[in-house]
Amino acid sequence: MEDSESASDNQRPWQSYHTVYTNAKAGMEGVDKEKVQRVVYEMSKGSKYFENEERKEAFIRQKIEHMRARAAKLSAADLSHYQKVADKRILELEATRELSRIWLHVDMDAFYAAVETLSNPSLKGKPMAVGSMSMLSTANYEARKFGVRAAMPGFIARKLCPDLIFVPTDFKKYTYYSGLTREVFRNYDPNFMAASLDEAYLDITKVCKERGITGGEIAEELRSRVHEETGLTCSAGVAPNRLLAKVLSTVLDINKPNGQFVLPNDRMAVMTFIASLPIRKIGGIGKVTENILKGVFGISTCEEMLQKGSFLCALFSRSSSDFFLSVGLGLGGTDTPMIRFRKSISSERTFSATEDAASLYQKLADIAEMLSADMQKEGLSGRTLTLKLKTASFEVRSRAVTLQKYICSSDDILKHASNLLKAELPISLRLIGLRVSHFNEDKAGVPVDHTQKTLTKFLISGDAPKRTGDDQSSFGSDLSDLHFMNEKETTISLGSHKTCHYEFGAPFERNHLSDIDGNDCISYENACEIDRIGELSSHKTAPTVKIDDGKECTTKSPKKELSRVSEEDSSVQREPEDGSPDRSNKEPSALGNEDDYKLFWVDNYKCSLCGAELPSSFVEERQEHSDFHLAERLQKEESGTGSSASISRRRVMPKEYIGSQNRRKKHKSSPAEGKHLPIDSFFAKKSGQKS
């Protein structure tokens, strides 16, 4: 570990120090990134925090190496097997695509900062941040120009921007304004999902239909009404699912406030948009996942998720690979929200590190007290208690016990918590937290739980698995905190209707059963025109995007080769970890029984069955080729068994998407469909009208 400096530490050590707020996520134009990076590095270097970051990074590098090795060990047979698995999953996921709904994601621009400015207009135009010297919740746009960002410690921010004005957080205020915005949202979707104080998802399908206007028009109207009601601006993304809608609006919030993007309910438009989109923009894919996907498979754009599908299926769990593949397909939650309930409640505090047992116990008692109070407020009790610790060196640990009876009193909590702490004792801590989960269903809320869970998880697995991501759960672009969720709830819901907005950043991805949709006969009354497609970042290569003004441009695809990982295979033969039960893995070349039909690419180049030569980059051809053999085989088998359906069906979908995305890679690209927008041309349009 610790070696992280060695390799990259040359003249510009700070370049290798990446944190959430200094990375490429934002498109902060006027920012001197080099300087920001340097300052952050200088300010952090040598600290315990920094050292821990280095440890974590080293660990991730190690993990990447390990996965690389696993990938390299996949035999050609494994790969062809997983290629089939991936193809099949992609087809199944594709079948769940739902284009009949219009989702709108609203994101209040620099929410906390904007609210503070409302109540103190003298702040207007000055760089300001909400938070403390140790942590900022958000920064206004003036401050962002200096590189100041949410989640950045205040002391670093001050270094970047000496005139930065610090305003302490005041959740009451934010909750109040959040309530005002929700009143507006309610008019467009009474069941809107609140992801945090400043973010919400609205299913505007119905309004659009009733009023006969487009999602873009609704977004315009909603935004201006929010502004009328609150004096605050917001950004909106309109798309056929939540995942896409969030990507659109979030990008806006970071770059240019007060704007909106619309992605039409059209498969091609979605695929085009998603294709060149950096995976990091997707909710649920953070720094670590990005690093792993990039480091192990060379994946940096969403379309590459599909191209590397076989590897993903081979090395990740079902839910993870499903999530990745659906990202590649631009799928995301489209279901009507079902009510979700809190699954745990917790309280934690950071303090200056101490190893004094007595004071640690005291802290523990305080926290137990706070937690218990919060639980009383909501009438909760649970039987699993988890103690969270952060050592002086920033290492995080947790210890849990599951009890026979449900507890909620601070005495009970403290009693068991003390036992947990005692076992760790000689220890220096900077944080202690307690969490209670495993609620008594009666109190936690409706029984919906188990059934729903399994249902969604297994039956529906179709869509947006894993990583709470998919959409929600997101606590806002700015750090949103939860403890005011309580207040939020009370404060807000006294409104009229019972809204089923999710008060707890609950992830509610999982689309509902595929079947319910009207299949392919989706009516298009909602197909809105493209307003603009967000180009988001460095990767200018949005393949084929059609913009309303008819601009277009093409770019070469960002594609890389099938990465090194795939080359060094073919040698080792090993049973893949999880999912290849169907074949007994023997010598790949063994002919004789059903294995004779197993196709794989010798040296990642030649077909094992007929010797045809196809480089790995010819994805589509390969697909076709293996399909040919598959068909051949099935046909043969069919004279005995009776399953032919699989073949034909299999070919149908892939043809389309695979074609659309790989075309570009071999031949240049078919100009026919190619219309690209330079990133910034998108933003130019709707931004900053009323700010």
Partner DNA sequence: TAAAATAGC
Partner DNA sequence: GCGGGCTATTTTA
Q: Which of residues 155-184 bind DNA (CB under 7 A)?
A: 155-156
The count of residues interacting with DNA (CB under 7 A) is: 80
Q: What is the C-alpha separation between 568 and 574, in angstroms, rounded?
A: 14
Is 460:510 a contact under the CB 8 Å cutoff? Answer: yes
> Among 316-324, 326-334, 545-553, 668-676, which window interacts with DNA (CB under 7 A)?
316-324
Assess 350 for contact with DNA (CB under 7 A). Answer: yes
> In the bound complex, what is the minimum distance in angstroms from residue 579's beta carbon to DNA?
12
Instruction: State yes or no: residue 430 binds DNA (CB under 7 A).
Output: yes
In the numeric block, which tokens belong to residue 116?
A: 């503070």
The owner of tokens 């990465």 is 563
CB of 359 to DNA, least distance (A): 16
Task: Report the site for DNA in 196-215 (rule: CB under 7 A).
Answer: none
The one-letter amino acid at 382: G
| Interface stretch with DNA, choices 201-209, 501-509, 558-566, 597-605 (CB under 7 A) | 501-509
Binding mask 450-489 for DNA (x = CB under 7 A): -------x-------xxxxx---xxxx--xxxxx-x----
Q: Is the separation of the CB atoms in 400 and 385 below 8 Å?
A: yes
**Strand locations in 181-272 (E):** 193-196, 199-203, 234-239, 260-262
Q: Which CB atom, from 9 or from 549, has the smaller least distance to DNA?
A: 9
Find the binder of DNA among 148, 331, 431, 607 (CB under 7 A): 431
Exactly one of 181, 205, 260, 347 binds DNA (CB under 7 A); which one? 347
DSSP state of 294: I
The site map against DNA for 267-306 (x = CB under 7 A) is ---------------xxxxxxxxx----------------
Nearest residue (CB) to DNA, 508 versus 657: 508
Q: Choose which of 320, 440, 493, 514 interacts with DNA (CB under 7 A).
A: 320
Nearest one of 336, 263, 271 to 526, comparing CA atoms: 263
Q: What angle do CA 167, 170, 176 make, to 5 degrees?
A: 130
- φ and ψ at residue 199, rounded to 5 degrees: -135, 145
Residue 580 in the binding site for DNA (CB under 7 A) = no
**Cβ atoms of residues 201 and 245 within 8 Å:** yes
What sign results for the dihedral spanned by CA atoms 118, 122, 125, 129?
negative
Could you tell me the smallest distance in angstroms from the CB atom of residue 593 to DNA? 32
State the virtual CA torsion across 588, 592, 594, 599 in degrees, nearest 10.
40
- Whole-number Cα distances in Å, 338 to 192, 243, 333, 511, 666: 11, 17, 12, 10, 45
The nearest distance, CB 468 to DNA, in angstroms, is 4
Q: What is the total residue count of the chain?
A: 691
Interacting residues with DNA between 34 and 93 (CB under 7 A):
40, 43-50, 56, 59-60, 63
**567 part of the active site:** no
Q: For residues 627 and 666, what is the distance between their CA atoms, to the nearest angstrom?
A: 19
* Residues 244 and 332 sit within 8 Å (Cβ to Cβ): yes
Q: Which is nearer to DNA, 44 or 191 (CB)?
A: 44
Give bridge partners of residue 348 from the DSSP assignment: 433
Work out which of 393, 398, 490, 584 binds DNA, going by CB under 7 A. Answer: 398
Helix crossing, 171-188 with 111-119: angle to 10°? Answer: 110
218-231 burial: b if 16+ Cβ within 10 Å, else e: bbbbbbebbbeebe
* Touching DNA, residues 399-428 (CB under 7 A): 399-402
CB 551 within 8 A of CB 681: yes
Q: At its nearest, how many Å lie between DNA and the CB of residue 402?
A: 3
Chain centroid to CA 422: how far? 37
> In the complex with DNA, which residue's Cβ is closer, 479 or 647?
479
Residues of span 505-534 touching DNA by CB under 7 A? 505-507
Smallest separation (angstroms) from DNA to the CB of 615: 31
- Let me know: does 311 contact 78? Beta carbons within 8 Å: no
The interface region with DNA, picked from 119-127, 252-260, 342-350, 582-590 by CB under 7 A, is 342-350
Residue 112 beta carbon to DNA: minimum distance, rounded to whole angstroms: 10
- Within 100-139, the residues that bind DNA by CB under 7 A are 134-135, 137
Q: Which of 57, 142, 199, 535 is flagged as catalytic? A: 199
Q: What tokens does 522 get?
A: 């989706």
Strands 165-167 and 128-131: parallel
For DNA, which is the closer residue by CB, 272 or 347? 347
Least separation in angstroms between residue 185's CB and DNA is 18
666 in contact with DNA (CB under 7 A): no
Residue 284 or 558 having the CB closest to DNA: 284
How far apart (Å, rounded) are the C-alpha atoms in residues 581 and 81? 11
CB of 279 to DNA, least distance (A): 10
| By the rule CB under 7 A, 16 interacts with DNA | no
Stretch that binds DNA, among 97-105, 232-240, 310-318, 547-555 (CB under 7 A): 310-318
For the annotated catalytic residues, the residue numbers are 199
